[in-house]
Structure 1
């Protein structure tokens, strides 16, 4: 006969002829239970493969020490760094983290949000899907007083705590850097304008051109969705179909920047002399591509740590945090743009 798969406290109590409450306290090393009894209970629990029912514990306590993370792509460097910051900060405070991926699919985002809600996480950190334009699936958390922190991709018209960077200023700084290297025909490869961060990076790009009295070529502003490799290659190719192409390209992520370099080379262009290229995020790929890609550093790990602090502040009723945290970015110049200024050794 097969052994019972899910061993419960009641099974252990029956086998040892003890009450379930005694078993429970013994498993928690409660001093009210004798040392020998605790040892017997814990030995049997290990032998039988007993595991506590975390969901049941959460139901009894009305809260867990688990923070839910709902993001688009776990395998992208920005999100990997964000998760690292979240896990570091959570672990320091004795909290666990459960991570759920949406692959930029709104239905999956809704389903996964419901699952995280059902297991009674103590707080949610989320970077919304590209397609998310309405937010009723987050309302369940607010109704149960479960804090929600939106990070990076945040809803523009939905109230809540948000942790972002100054995307406008970052876009402005990236474009200004290209202009300072002598670029005059500038192009922008952007993501979906359904999301505020891509709108703001484009706004910064436009403003930098205006402030430097440069003409904006509408054919050099191309927007995709999430700027995957395949999508970025298609967009970058369109920039050079007129025979001349831009002499400076600002990609709204590093994949767009890398693809711009690859396509420029395919068209016989030298980077950075014929066309300078800058990306966004400062992913590891920036140092692998030839020439190394200039980028705007995106403080993902720090953002993750701030999100956890916001969760814990909310749980502790510490309302000192503002509703909006805006972090700054930093230009990381490399050989893909440096026509005039040499890299310091």
Structure 2
């Protein structure tokens, strides 16, 4: 059975006190350079690694961060996690990733589990099904640092990192209008999500600026955020059954874009497919539809900035009252 080397083992081997070894490994000025060098060389040769549990007990910190996303397989969130990790590991933190799969119940259980593991802070992107925020508010009230990214709530003050959802949606809708389409539907996420209202505003603004009347009948919401493919297929069936079918669709999220294109491939012949523009960070959607126009979000940068802000909260020696609401720009990619 593997048994890692300890400070006591090093002390015994070098005939030193454990406290001397501990201070040397912490680069204390109290230990002379020659002794420090002996200890460090021995520790490296025998693969000594600091015990994170013991360190956390001494310092009252676990040096771990909980991250809640809807799913890791989603291209946007996998890129955001890369950004999170690029900061965390460089600053001595470990990341524990948990997936809600856009389920309220799973989000509650996962967040409570992370809190019970004594994480130093949480990075959260809200589940599509979550309307009751009490499980998050309670942890915030108890002093746990929390930062939101992408899908945020404004129930309490904290740092947030999002993209310019309104402008991204407007550009996507405008790209469809520029191709000559006027009857443009909108496949939206859960109505209560922050990204849903912002992207709806951008869609409506593009129509208004081009003199195209808004038709409420062309807007369909997916209350489970595409987690249930049947929900997306029902929306596509609705569009296909309209007397005047939409010529194009603006889709509001990465998962919904994939679900929408898959549903059209399953339910309608190619000549009945509308043009589609939507939010997506995936490189595979053009395999389903070669002229798919996507709004690309700077996911890596979003994750990186959210992690930086969370560490600032965790390591601040004083209460924080001024918070940043960072908004990053999107990029329209036309194929």
Asked whether the two chains share a fold, i.e. TM above 0.5, the reply is yes
Per the alignment, do residues 29 and 260 of structure 1 end up closer, same or farther by CA in structure 2, a change over 3 Å counting? Answer: closer
Per the alignment, do residues 258 and 70 of structure 1 end up closer, same or farther by CA in structure 2, a change over 3 Å counting? Answer: closer
- Compute the displacement of 1:57 (Å): 2.5
- Compute the displacement of 1:228 (Å): 4.0
CA–CA distance in structure 1, aligned partners of residues 150 and 52 of structure 2: 31
Q: Which runs of 5+ in 2 are unaligned?
A: none
Q: What SS does the corresponding residue of 1:250 show, helix, strand or coil?
A: strand
Name the residue aligned to 1:267: 268
CA–CA distance in structure 1, aligned partners of residues 98 and 164 of structure 2: 26
Task: Name which of 161, 164, 168 aligns with 1:163.
Answer: 161
Task: Name which of 102, 127, 130 aligns with 1:129.
Answer: 127
Q: What SS does the corresponding residue of 1:296 show, helix, strand or coil?
A: strand
CA–CA distance in structure 1, aligned partners of residues 322 and 154 of structure 2: 19
CA–CA distance in structure 1, aligned partners of residues 312 and 292 of structure 2: 38
Name the residue aligned to 2:311: 312
Kindly tell me the number of residue pairs found equivalent between the two proteins. 325
CA contact 2:225–2:256 (8 Å) conserved in 1? no
- Compute the displacement of 1:234 (Å): 3.0
Name the residue aligned to 2:240: 240
CA contact 1:9–1:20 (8 Å) conserved in 2? no
- Please, which moves more after superposition, 98-107 or 276-285? 98-107
Deviations 1:186-233 (A, max 9, x none): 101111112121122122222322332223333321111212472323
- Compute the displacement of 1:8 (Å): 9.8
Per the alignment, do residues 19 and 126 of structure 1 end up closer, same or farther by CA in structure 2, a change over 3 Å counting? Answer: same
- Compute the displacement of 1:85 (Å): 0.5
Q: What SS does the corresponding residue of 2:119 show, helix, strand or coil?
A: coil
- Please, which moves more after superposition, 291-300 or 97-106? 97-106
CA contact 1:27–1:42 (8 Å) conserved in 2? no
CA–CA distance in structure 1, aligned partners of residues 257 and 38 of structure 2: 65
CA contact 1:72–1:128 (8 Å) conserved in 2? yes
CA contact 2:146–2:310 (8 Å) conserved in 1? yes
CA contact 1:282–1:332 (8 Å) conserved in 2? no
- Please, which moves more after superposition, 164-173 or 92-101? 92-101
Task: Name which of 97, 101, 104 aligns with 1:103.
Answer: 101
Name the residue aligned to 1:252: 252
Deviations 1:81-140 (A, max 9, x none): 110001112233343322222222333323332333333333321112222223333345
For the pair 1:330 / 2:331, whether they are aligned, the reply is: yes
| 1:75-94 equivalences in 2 (<5 Å) | 75-94=73-92
- Please, which moves more after superposition, 153-162 or 19-28? 19-28
CA–CA distance in structure 1, aligned partners of residues 300 and 44 of structure 2: 39
- Compute the displacement of 1:29 (Å): 8.6
Q: What SS does the corresponding residue of 2:276 show, helix, strand or coil?
A: strand
| 1:86-235 equivalences in 2 (<5 Å) | 86-139=84-137, 141-143=139-141, 145-224=143-222, 225-228=224-227, 230=229, 231-235=231-235
Per the alignment, do residues 275 and 107 of structure 1 end up closer, same or farther by CA in structure 2, a change over 3 Å counting? Answer: closer
RMSD: 3.5
Higher relative contact order (CA 8 A, sep 6+): 2
Name the residue aligned to 1:297: 296
CA contact 2:257–2:280 (8 Å) conserved in 1? no
CA–CA distance in structure 1, aligned partners of residues 24 and 322 of structure 2: 40
- Compute the displacement of 1:74 (Å): 1.4
CA–CA distance in structure 2, aligned partners of residues 136 and 172 of structure 1: 33
Q: Which runs of 5+ in 1 are unaligned?
A: 335-345
CA–CA distance in structure 2, aligned partners of residues 34 and 173 of structure 1: 60
